Amino acid sequence: MDENLICYCGLYCGNCAVKARVYPAAVKLRDEMETAGFKDVINAIPGGGDFWKFLNGMTDSGICVSCHAGGGNPGCAVRKCAQEKNVKMCALCGSYPCNLFNEYFKGFLLLFRDNELIRGKGMNAWSKMQDERGKKGFTYSDGDRGDTSVRSGNQ
């Protein structure tokens, strides 16, 4: 597990669809297009130059980083609160679950379950689960339907 990809709210950026699926697909697309010679003709295609610039920016500069590393929404109320309280994650805060967290993540059952795992079994259990999810190809865009640890009761 890459500790730099842990978010204050309890999400793990390593299991984000952008990082786990979109970025690798963008790299593959760019490489395939270069191999096929598109680099030399892309500007002749309407919008091709802008697309090529976007694709290269996405693959060369990488993608977003976690909120701990300065990525994400700079105005995130959860991040601001956690920073003010000097906690690594909401689940590790003495005030968890607070009204801010409950309101901010209303409807995200998976996130609540993940934070409850941290509270009940600790960071090691949460980290292990995130690694297992990643190995299975899970991303948060799958929601509960893609997370077998939720369905099987492994939390």
pLDDT value at position 145? 58
Mark out the alpha helices in the chain (DSSP H runs): 17, 23-35, 38-41, 48-60, 77-85, 99-104, 109-121, 123-135, 148-151
Residues of the chain with pLDDT below 70 are 61-62, 107, 144-155
Q: Is 150 left (phi over 0), alpha (psi -120 to 50) or beta?
A: alpha
pLDDT value at position 110? 84
pLDDT value at position 151? 43
For residues 132 and 149, is the Cβ–Cβ distance under 8 A?
yes
pLDDT value at position 103? 73
Secondary structure class of 64 (helix, strand, coil): coil
Sign of dihedral through CA atoms 139, 141, 146, 150? positive
Q: Domain extents for the chain?
A: 3-149
pTM of the model: 0.74
